[in-house]
Amino acid sequence: MEKEVAVIGVGQSSFVRGYEGSIRELAFEAFREAMKDAGVTQKDIGASVFCSAPEYDKQRSPAGVLAEYLGLIPQPTFYIETVCSSSSTGVKVGYSMIKAGLHDVVCIVGFQKMSEITSAESQERMGRGADIQWEAPFGTMMPAYYALYAQAYMAKNGLTHDDLMSVRLKSATYGVVNERAVYRKGVKAADFDASNPEAKMAGPVAWPLRVGDCCANADGSSCIILANKEKAKAFSKKPIWVVGIGAASEAVNMAARPDFAKGLSVGYGAAAQAYKMAGITASDVKVAEVHDCFTIAEIMAYEGLGFAPMGEGKQLIREKATYKEGRIPVNVDGGLLSKGHPIGATGGSQIRTIVLQLRGEAGPMQVAGDPGIGLVHNVGGVGLYGNVTIFGR
Amino acid sequence: MGFEKFGRKSFTAITKTAKFVDLLVEGKVEGTVCKDCGAKFFPPRADCAKCLSKNMDWFEVPKKGTLETFTTAYYAPFGFETDPPYTMGVVDFGDGLKLFARLAKEIKLEDVKVGMAVTTRPLKYDDGQISFEIVKA
Ligand SMILES: [Zn+2]
């Protein structure tokens, strides 16, 4: 396992609805925490990378604006975008620059202020992260796209609505204890009771997905500071090494997708690369963050990552194997479903969670057994992009 | 006719495949086929991703397919607010050829099943927009 590039600092704003500030102020929250965590100053940072999905706020070319606000000029800065996986793509680029010897320390900031537009506008923006020429004219939106996968998957593999609900009940368990999560209320099975008009999770959004199957929009920021071996050892008592990186892409149009019942191809492709680079297999992973933008996405992720055989992801949630006490804890910070999904900030937030887990600093979410290897699975669009990043001590 | 006529609401005005809309008006749902390597595409493309040819022809999509998957939207994005509920699905024609569209309003939701036999036909909305939809075979 190669130990050349390490995470030396992590930060995250609280994920909230309606952040009372602008995008530069939002980015500052995560950046400040990561800088204090790393114990570095701006002059130590060789370059910065900013990551978000465009068109949620009005700022064009945000990198220069945010770099100035964070005191990171005149160092090089630029913008990276792969919608929901933007900040894990940013970490891949930061890793590459350090490995290439261009910079010793790179900071990657993910941000998103979704509350500047309405929920319907947000759905339209997200829908346009898919095929605007041939699909958006039908009125597509993210829940509908994932529902296409859910429908085919459930028909073939015997996955039930109760299984999907179980994913949400798990995420809510940890949303309650994560003080940075947007959705901190508990969720119980009765909330999914379709016979009760008061049940807040039961209403259909894009059938077979219900309100409770969908992640929470949020405003938020994340920051990851990467360093080369020499600087990592100089600055950090607990460097967490980036030991595996994989990434893949898939056809944007649903008409060009392979079998829907088999889940997202990018999950399989990115995982295979990352495992190969790290020289490990799925069973070596002790804690994971997966891209649960919808409940069905977590089940499909189990399989893409090799935590369960294809079609058998339901067994993990039925056996509670992905709870904190289980065989392979997944999303024990609340995941996108409860912690929230401020698009450009999500990958960095997932990485922060895994870094804290490997350091033993995850507080009430800490998994037992002193985990040595953790994994982050971050998907952009409807499996348009997929990143898997593996971390080790 | 420009591509702004395509679908419930188009986000693209100009494309080299705008003839697709004219073909819908003629009653045909067509994809493109590469004259050089034979690769077939739906939705249509002006350029071949397999051999990089720009030499494309039109072909009518098969009449018989199966519904691979579907979803019913109870909320809609900005600009589609008056439409829900509406059902969208993917038709598999075999040989790697698939199609994404809405299902015809006339199909009862309880009758829609994964694997059902379906076909496709052009559709004109009251406001003059041109589209195509999935119907029972
Ligand atoms: Zn060709």
Alpha helical stretches, state H, A58-118: 62-69, 86-99
Compute, in angstroms, the gap from residue B36 CA to the centroid of ligand 1: 5
Q: What is the pLDDT of residue A126?
A: 79
Q: Sign of the C-alpha dihedral, residues A349, A355, A361, A362?
A: positive
Compute, in angstroms, the gap from residue A229 CA to the centroid of ligand 1: 48
Could you list the beta-strand ranges (E) of A132-196: none
Q: What is the pLDDT of residue A187?
A: 97
Q: What is the pLDDT of residue A214?
A: 97
* Contact across the interface for B69 and A260, Cβ inside 8 Å: yes
Q: Which of A145, A151, A157 to mutate to test the interface with B (most CBs of B within 10 A)?
A: A151
| The pairing of beta strand A219-228 with beta strand A240-249 | unpaired
Mean local confidence (pLDDT), A256-283: 97
Q: Kindly report the number of other CB atoms within 10 A of residue A317's CB atom.
A: 26
**Which residues of chain A does B115 touch, with a Cβ-Cβ cutoff of 8 Å?**
155
What is the rounded average pLDDT for all residues in chain A? 97
Q: What is the pLDDT of residue A86?
A: 98
Whole-angstrom CA distances from A369 to A223, A372, B13 are: 27, 9, 58
Position of tokens 């909320």?
B75
CB-based contact, B31 to chain A, within 8 Å = no
> Under 8 Å CB-to-CB from B31, ≥6 apart: which residues?
B40, B41, B42, B43, B44, B58, B59, B61, B97
How close is the nearest chain B Cα to the Cα of A278, in Å? 33
Residues facing A374 on adjacent strands: A287, A391
A68-123 pLDDT, tens digit per residue, is 999 999 999 999 999 999 999 999 999 999 999 999 999 999 999 999 888 878 87
* Contact across the interface for A132 and B75, Cβ inside 8 Å: no
A334-354 pLDDT, tens digit per residue, is 999 999 999 999 999 999 999
In angstroms, rounded to a whole number, what is the distance separating the alpha carbons of residues A360 and A366?
Answer: 7
Coil, strand or helix: which one is A13? coil
- pTM of this structure: 0.97
Mean local confidence (pLDDT), B54-68: 97
CA A347 to chain centre: 4
Exactly one of A103, A161, A291, A341 is catalytic; name it: A341
Q: Residue B2 above 90 pLDDT? A: no
Position of tokens 């008009």?
A197
Q: Residue B19 above 90 pLDDT? A: yes
Alpha helical stretches, state H, chain A: 23-38, 62-69, 86-99, 119-127, 142-157, 161-175, 229-235, 265-278, 295-304, 313-318, 346-359
Q: What is the pLDDT of residue B1?
A: 55
CB-CB: which of A124, A205, A253 is closest to B77?
A124
Asked if B6 and B131 count as a contact pair (C-beta separation under 8 A), the reply is yes
Helices A161-175, A295-304: crossing angle, 10 deg rounding: 90
In angstroms, rounded to a whole number, what is the distance separating the alpha carbons of residues A13 and B135?
Answer: 49
> Hey, what domains does chain A have and what are their CATH numbers?
5-118+217-235 (3.40.47.10)
Whole-angstrom CA distances from B87 to A89, A113, A127, A149, A207 are: 34, 31, 16, 14, 9
Q: What is the pLDDT of residue A360?
A: 98
**Which residues of chain A does B39 touch, with a Cβ-Cβ cutoff of 8 Å?**
none
| Phi, psi (deg, nearest 5) at residue A83 | 40, -120
Coil, strand or helix: which one is A108? strand
Task: Place A127 in a pLDDT band, splitting at 50, 70 and 90.
Answer: confident
Tokens coding A324: 């904190």
CB-based contact, A127 to chain B, within 8 Å = yes
A144-165 pLDDT, tens digit per residue, is 999 999 999 999 999 999 999 9
Tokens coding A107: 């900071």
Q: What is the pLDDT of residue A65?
A: 98
CB-based contact, B74 to chain A, within 8 Å = yes
Mean local confidence (pLDDT), A251-269: 97
Counting DSSP H helices and E strands in chain A, the numbers are 11, 11
Q: What is the pLDDT of residue A121?
A: 83
Active site residue A161: no
Q: Residue A267 above 70 pLDDT? A: yes
A281-307 pLDDT, tens digit per residue, is 999 999 999 999 999 999 999 999 999
ipTM: 0.97
How close is the nearest chain A Cα to the Cα of B35, in Å? 20
* % of chain B exceeding 90 in pLDDT: 95
Mean local confidence (pLDDT), A42-70: 96
* % of chain A exceeding 90 in pLDDT: 94
In angstroms, rounded to a whole number, what is the distance separating the alpha carbons of residues A161 and A150?
Answer: 10
Q: What is the pLDDT of residue A119?
A: 80
CA A340 to chain centre: 10
Compute, in angstroms, the gap from residue B57 CA to the centroid of ligand 1: 11
Q: What is the pLDDT of residue A118?
A: 85
In angstroms, rounded to a whole number, what is the distance separating the alpha carbons of residues A164 and A353?
Answer: 23
What is the rounded average pLDDT for all residues in chain B? 96
CB-based contact, B4 to chain A, within 8 Å = no
A173-216 pLDDT, tens digit per residue, is 999 999 999 999 999 999 999 999 999 999 999 999 999 999 98
